[in-house]
Amino acid sequence: MGKVIPISGNYAVAYAAKAADVDVIAAYPITPQTAVVEKLSEFVANGELDAEFIHVESEHSALSAVVGASAVGARVFTATSAQGLLLMYEIMHIASTLRLPIVMGIAARAISAPINIWCDHSDFMAASDTGWIMFMAMNAQEAHDLVIAGFRIAEDPKVHLPVAVGYDGFLVSHTIEPVNIIERDEALKYAPKRVTWYTLNPDKPITLGPLASPDWYFEFRVQLQDAIEGAREVISNAFAEFAQHFGRKYGEVDAYYTDDADVVLVTMGSASGTALAYVEEARKEGVKVGLINVRLFRPFPEEFIAKHIENAKVVAVVDRAVNAGSSFVGPLYSDIAVTMFKRGFDIPVVNYITGLGGRAVLKDHIDHMVKHALSLVGKKMRDIKTHYAFVGVRE
């Protein structure tokens, strides 16, 4: 077993990349991610990690550099936030469709304008259509563990896809928590380095990313969809084996008190911790509320969600991002609503958008959402006039 040390979420992510024995790291600083790459450059400089650290001149170059390194078979890592992630967006699609196993940390932060460095999920959600496997950690321990699991999943011959591990900016990235650190030997036993993806090799030359005409392009996109769908089983196995190796059990989602709940809340990231504290108190007072924390976001864990809302009368989805002008408004809401529609649920599913740009998500806010959701018990979706509300916003 590893040792427990008090570190921030950022350091937990850096320690995980070190334990995974990455070969190449390329990054550009941005708040609140910066401490990850500072720590990694220290590990590299003092010889604790035998890797190349490339101090690139932007995030576009950072992801391009790790794409290049992965294309020759290196185990690679990068991390970013907000504007940095948006600048990587172009290359994110390249990484997934070239089927390169990359692991990236995302310290989730609001996007400009106006500039704001605090937590919400706008950056993370903006990357949700890039074909990356995406996790959102609830705390520093999870961020650490998911990075290591991420390498195992990304490099699995049935997957060969990049993996992003989100964790809330400041709330997780800068909060010091006790973290059980996985050591290099244990990490490599769990996630051994194995290069089974197509790599550039002068002895057997291949070309990556040449023009695909209308005769061929389509098939690449279909393969990407098949690969990410196929990753579901690999992810389940990776979690099961993680529990065997390290004793910590993770699921695609966590469910609390959902069996008999009238209202099931659905949350992601650190707000799940607040929501759980609320739910535990409310239960003591007899309020029939349950909670689902979504850990795996892509591929979206539909079956797991569906199982835990079977007995619900209202589903209340909490989002920390806005897709302005869309039919759904909150991005997590859209996945939940489609999940329910496909399975014929005819109960209200409502969306509460909160905590944008670092505004605190408090138990009082959750209480407000739950009380509102309880007032909808017994209704049908078609009875609901507005499906979304902003909570904690100035009047």
Partner 1 sequence: MAVAHPLDKYLRTDRIPTMWCPGCGLGIVMGTLLRAVDRRIKEGSLKRENVGFAGGIGCTARMTLYPLFDSAHVIHGRAIPFALAVKIVKPEMKMIVVGGDGDLAAIGGNHILHAIRRNADLLVVMVNNMIYGMTGGQVAPTTPRGLYTTTTPYGNPEREMNMIKLTAALGANYVARGSITHPQLLEQYLYKALGKRGLAFVEVISTCPELFGRHIGFRSPVDLYMEIRKRIVIKAKPSIEESDYSWEKGFVIGEFVDRDEPGFTDTIYEYLNKIRGGGVQ
Per-residue tokens: 72:
């020759």
Look at residues 357, 365, 358, 260 and name the one whose alpha carbon lies nearest to residue 311.
Answer: 260
We find the least distance from the C-beta atom of residue 116 to ligand TPP, in angstroms, to be: 11
Size of the site for ligand TPP (CB under 6 A): 7
Q: How many Å apart are CA 127 and CA 134, to the nearest integer?
A: 9
Strands of the sheet containing 76-80, edge to edge, are 52-55, 24-27, 76-80, 102-108, 163-168, 133-136, 296-298
Distance CA 128, CA 311 (A): 29
Query: Residue from 2, 21, 29, 372 that binds ligand TPP (CB under 6 A)?
Result: 29
Tell me how far, at minimum, the Cβ of 23 lies from partner 1, in Å: 18
* 23 touching ligand TPP, by CB under 6 A: no
The 85-124 contact track toward ligand TPP, x by CB under 6 A, reads: --x-------------------------------------
Residues pairing with 136 in the sheet: 166
Residue 99 phi/psi, 5-degree rounding, is 60, 50
Residue 148: φ, ψ to 5°: -70, -45
Q: How far is the CB of 30 from ligand TPP (least distance, A)?
A: 4
Residue 254 engages ligand TPP in binding (rule: CB under 6 A): no
Q: Which of 14, 23, 17, 33 is nearest to 71 (CA)?
A: 23
Please identify, using beta-carbon distances, which residue of 4 and 115 lies nearer to ligand TPP: 115
Q: Does 59 bind ligand TPP (CB under 6 A)?
A: yes
CB of 58 to ligand TPP, least distance (A): 7
Binds partner 1 by CB under 8 A, chosen from 15, 28, 170, 250: 28
- In order, the DSSP letters of 57-125 are SSHHHHHHHHHHHHTTT--EEEEE-HHHHHHHHHHHHHHHHTT--EEEEEEE---SSSP--S--SHHHH
Instruction: Indicate whether 84 belongs to the interface with ligand TPP (CB under 6 A).
Output: yes
- Measured CA to CA, the distance from residue 64 to residue 264 in angstroms comes to 41
Minimum CB separation from partner 1 for residue 191, in Å? Answer: 26
Q: CB under 5 to 8 A by kind: which of partner 1, ligand TPP, none does 46 bind?
A: partner 1
- Partner that binds at residue 116, options ligand TPP, partner 1, none, CB closer than 5 to 8 Å by kind: none
- # residues contacting partner 1 (CB under 8 A): 20
Quick one: which of 45, 72, 200, 393 contacts partner 1 (CB under 8 A)?
Answer: 45
What is the closest distance, in whole angstroms, from the C-beta atom of residue 386 to partner 1 in the complex?
33
Do 322 and 125 form a contact (C-beta atoms < 8 A)? no
Q: Could you give the 3-state DSSP secondary structure of residue 4?
A: strand
**In terms of CB distance, is 52 or 367 closer to partner 1?**
52
Kindly tell me which of 35 and 349 has the beta carbon lying closer to partner 1.
35
Characterize 262-272 residue by residue with b for buried, 16 or more Cβ atoms within 10 angstroms of its Cβ, and e for exposed. bbbbbbbbbbb
Give the residues lining the site for partner 1 (CB under 8 A).
Answer: 28-31, 34-35, 37-38, 41-42, 45-46, 53, 55, 57-58, 83, 112-113, 115
